[in-house]
Amino acid sequence: MSASISTLDRHSGVWPVMLTPFRDNLEIDWRSLERLIDWYIASGVHGLFANCQSSEMFFLSDKESIELTRFIVAYADGRVPVVASGHTADSCSQQVEQLHAIADTGVESAILISNRLATADQPDETALENLQRLTEAIPEVALGVYECPYPYKRLLTDATISWCAKSGRYTFIKDTCCNEETIKRRLQLVAGTPLHLLNANAQTLLGSLKAGGHGYSGVMANFHPALYVWLVENWQAQPEKAEMLAEILTVSALSEYLDYPVSAKDYHRQIGTFESRICRSRPIGSFDDLHFPTTIAQMQSLSARCKTLIGL
């Protein structure tokens, strides 16, 4: 028997990092966004990570950031919980304003970005001090941390993860370390606390689930979320199929490097979710889409075959 959404912990499962559809004039395409949310939910996801790097949050104004998050929370309408970031500013005072505003949209958790906690040349101790300062300044909403790779990647230290876990304020880490041994150590640090670790890396996902990980929050859920939902819900009950599916998803995830998020938006244009593949982060002419049609067709075929294999 699979673990349904009713039996999974509220902060576990598959949480896609949401795309933001834009019109040709670079304004947000709200109708396409509605279709995207419906598509995620119809695929069985357990939550949505809005206003993140995949959402091109660094290319949104603060006003757009709040409008986007508020819209997603309202349209999801309790069907699944929503977490969101929008934590892009450099100064601490503006970061506090951003996170207050996100918290006020009704999200399940407001997500801090690890590389906003200190500059690349500052020590980890500074990052922890700034995280503690922000935690005190944000109202009593649940919090999370995302190890966002842009503009640089700052991985969380054991000391930071331990502090977050023991604080009782943190529920969500989007882990991008891509290392099974590190993930195992982190899971020991958060054991017995409200803090959940969701892996962004397809290659280490099954191993992290076996070690007690809480789910998946990565870009490939923008292509075939139902397959990740099946893996997270059924890896214990059907281990042989889970191993096979995990190997296929590992290879498939290499397409992440094919001019993402343009490739993901092109996929959604082809399946009818989006009107356009326009990105603010990748201007037209800045990417090579030579292999998009072949790769996307293969992705659709792969998803269909995998669903047949696992009985979806």
Cβ atoms of residues 206 and 216 within 8 Å: no
Q: Does 6 score more than 50 pLDDT?
A: no
The per-residue pLDDT for range 243-260, each reduced to its tens digit, is 999 999 998 888 777 789
What is the domain partition of the chain in residue ranges?
13-310
The confidence score (pLDDT) of residue 30 equals 98
Q: Does 49 score more than 50 pLDDT?
A: yes
The per-residue pLDDT for range 183-208, each reduced to its tens digit, is 999 999 999 999 999 999 999 999 99
The per-residue pLDDT for range 265-285, each reduced to its tens digit, is 999 999 999 999 999 998 765
The per-residue pLDDT for range 168-184, each reduced to its tens digit, is 999 999 999 999 999 99
Whole-angstrom CA distances from 289 to 46, 251, 257 are: 32, 20, 12
The confidence score (pLDDT) of residue 1 equals 30
The contacts of residue 161 (CB under 8 Å, 6+ apart) are: 173, 186, 189, 190, 195
Please say whether the structural domain 13-310 has been given the CATH code 3.40.190.150: no
pTM strictly above 0.85: yes
The confidence score (pLDDT) of residue 290 equals 54
